Amino acid sequence: RAAAAARALDAATAAGEIPAPAAGRPLVGVNCDPGTERSVRAVVFRSAAFRGGGHTVTVVALTAISVALSRFLETRGESVPDRLGVEVTVAVGAVGSANNNYRNVGVDLFVTESDLGVRAARIAADLGARRERVTDPLFAQRDAAAEHVPAPLSRFGIVRYASPRPVTVTGNTVVSSVFRGSADLALAGGPVVFSAGFPALSPAMALTHGVYGLGETVTIGVAAGSRVIPDLDAYEQMVRDAVAEVGAALSPAR
């Protein structure tokens, strides 16, 4: 059944019935071994900063990251590739007994589009196409075979998995966006007003972003390899400036 689903998925993609997967993207300076030391920053905003143009918090955050990451690469003397992109986690239906049901997809940041309103709309459309593909039932049917692999065999493969630096990447950075509900939590008798998280780094990913909404705040958690990005404060300020710039571009008063 899994093999038949895989063939059907390929056929539907070729026929244009399901959006094609995103192509790999060229590596940039942050697509390298992050080293052993980590730096993190929690950049906290009022959620109103992400409510412009009728877009989701995720889309506004992606647009802001497109601005910040481009400027960061330029300050390092790098050329910004036309196909700069992000690897985004997308929620999907339950598969087997897993509690965390999501897939990673590649989304273009459209950095050659100077109008931030148009850029946000194009990012939203690309994210929608990627979501349409990975939430198709054929994906779950194709991957159901993994539920029947004996645990010792799975471990045998995992411990022998090699992870060399790839030629291309799904995204030049990672963005994991999660709404963590209303601000009805308490810690040590005090109200919790924001929540942060920091997606893991990998041998080809030295910079990641987590976008976490809680009540009336949205926090962008930035994680980086200190060897690759020794001054994370500078990038934090770029993120703050980019959120303000995108918010102004998407505001109804524009």
* Rounded Cα gap, residues 126 and 44, in angstroms: 27
Structure tokens at 214: 């809680």
* Structural contact between residues 16 and 22, judged by C-beta atoms closer than 8 angstroms: no
Chain centroid to CA 80: 18
**pLDDT for 252:** 67
* Structural contact between residues 3 and 196, judged by C-beta atoms closer than 8 angstroms: no
**What are the pLDDT digits (tens) for 169-188?**
999 999 999 999 998 999 99
Task: Enumerate the β-bridge partners of residue 205.
Answer: 202
**pLDDT for 93:** 77
Q: Tally Cβ neighbours within 10 Å of residue 30.
A: 25
Of 229, 220, 235, nearest to 71 (Cα)? 235
**pLDDT for 171:** 95
**pLDDT for 238:** 97
Q: pLDDT tens track of the chain, all 254 residues?
A: 889 999 999 999 999 999 998 889 999 999 999 999 999 999 999 999 998 889 999 999 999 999 999 999 999 999 999 999 999 999 887 766 777 888 899 999 999 999 999 999 999 999 999 999 999 988 888 888 888 889 999 999 888 876 677 889 999 999 999 999 998 999 999 999 999 999 999 989 999 999 999 999 999 999 999 999 999 999 999 999 999 999 999 986 54
Domains of the chain (ranges; CATH) run 2-250 (3.30.559.30)
- Do the bridges between strand 85-91 and strand 102-108 make them parallel or antiparallel, or are there none, so unpaired? antiparallel
pTM: 0.91
**pLDDT for 253:** 53
